[in-house]
Amino acid sequence: QSMSLSPEESYLAKVIAAKISGLLSMIGSGLIIRDVILRWRRRKEQQFLPIVPRVILSMSVADFFTSFFVHFIGTWMVPKGDVTILDETFPIALATGSDATCKIQAFISSLFSLAGISTNATLATAYWLLVCREKKEIDLNKWKWQIPLLWFPWLIGVADSFIFVIGFGFYGHNNAWFCGSFLSVESPHRDWRNGELAAIVGVINLLIISMMALLIKFVHNLEKKSDVYRRNGETRQNTIRVTRQGILFILSYMAAMIPAVITIVINALPEPYIIFVSCIHPLQGAFNALVYFRPKYIANRQKMASRSNLRASRLSSILRTLNVSLPKRSSALSNGGRKIPAPQIIDKDLTTKSNEREVKIHSIENKEDVFDEKNLP
């Protein structure tokens, strides 16, 4: 007996898979946004964050809204109707929208998707400028770098959504799990629109791949040298770690984007591959979160390595990495609801030493509740 899914079942599978992956991506992007904002509020010396966290914040905002409106809401904004896949016609799964909601979703999809893709390119460029070109933060805070690194990706998204969705009316469902700025197979403008999208994404991917190649070459040349020198207060090993972090961000983008780019280039693809794309493509925010929090989690794990309870150590490291504080235990609850009065000590010197010892013990017991700002990535 064949275990293959029917076209209707496979379509429902990719709709549900995109919602689950989109939800995971929203959580990942939301955690990044929260962490960057907390870092921003803690800064007292400078008004602005370094360029890399700001680009990551911009990228996470784009990924969050793409995951929510495109992948998580999905067919809820698609008009009710039928879809034909492999010569089988059936109702669109979970469709409750209208033509107006479809156009709105296509506008949002074009805006935030292209902004997110372009921001990945500017993030790779920012890493290249900092590591390979040795640009200083004070230089990257100037407008000549702020516009291309922070604002240009959003200009691309706004231009594409207004020109093609609002102006030309290029939007539709096209058997996907959302309405996008693409056209049906019968449209005479389909090949032209797909070619235009492929050209934009291709140029962006070429830039990203070029930056990754330059970063890999740079870190390879550093690792060949055994001596350690200092540059602006940072060791060569720190430079290598920063470079690897940039490469991991690029790889996370490629893992989510390349399968989707193949669907743009090749029209006829088997349904199992489309289901695979619906699982992987929406996970961009989740992949970014794994890369973003990885250095801080490793640092926290190393600090907790001496703990005997491995499971508690991992949980504590995760909570500290995400900047989540555990509620402090009440002394009354820890003694069965009875408050034990403190002993009266007459000797002033003895009182001071006792208080210092109690403070040390209390800080050790509640070590998980203290967030060390030095662990920030």
pLDDT per residue as tens digits for the range 84-110: 887 888 899 999 999 999 999 999 999
Which tens digit of pLDDT belongs to each residue from 271-297? 888 899 999 999 999 999 999 999 988
Digit-coded pLDDT (tens) for 22-34: 999 999 999 999 9
- Locus of tokens 């509740």: 369
pLDDT (0 to 100) of residue 367: 37
Q: What is the mean pLDDT of the chain?
A: 80
**Residue-level pLDDT at 225:** 63
* Per-range mean pLDDT, top range of 33-37, 39-43, 177-181, 345-349: 33-37
Q: What is the pLDDT of residue 150?
A: 94
Given a cut of 50, whether residue 116 has pLDDT beyond it is yes
- Look at residue 342 and tell me whether its pLDDT is greater than 70: no
| Per-residue pLDDT at 370 exceeds 80 | no
Amino acid 67: pLDDT = 96
Task: Categorize the per-residue pLDDT at 334 as very low, low, confident or very high, splitting at 50, 70 and 90.
Answer: very low
Query: Which range is least confidently modeled, 143-157, 230-244, 342-356?
Result: 342-356
352 has a pLDDT exceeding 60: no
Average pLDDT value for residue range 210-214: 90
HEC per residue, the chain: CCCCCCHHHHHHHHHHHHHHHHHHHHHHHHHHHHHHHHHHHHCCCCCCCCHHHHHHHHHHHHHHHHHHHHHHCHHHHCECCEEEECCEEEECCCCCECHHHHHHHHHHHHHHHHHHHHHHHHHHHHHHHHHCCCCCHHHHCCHHHHHHHHHHHHHHHHHHHHHHHHHCCCCECCCCCCCECCCCCCCCCHHHHHHHHHHHHHHHHHHHHHHHHHHHHHHHHHHHCCCCCEECCEEHHHHHHHHHHHHHHHHHHHHHHHHHHHHHHCCCCCHHHHHHHHHHHHHHHHHHHHHHHHHHHHHHHHHCCCCCCHHHHHHHHHHHHCCCCCCCCCHHHHCCCCCCCCCCCCCHHHHHHHHHHHHHHHHHHCHHHCCCHHHCC
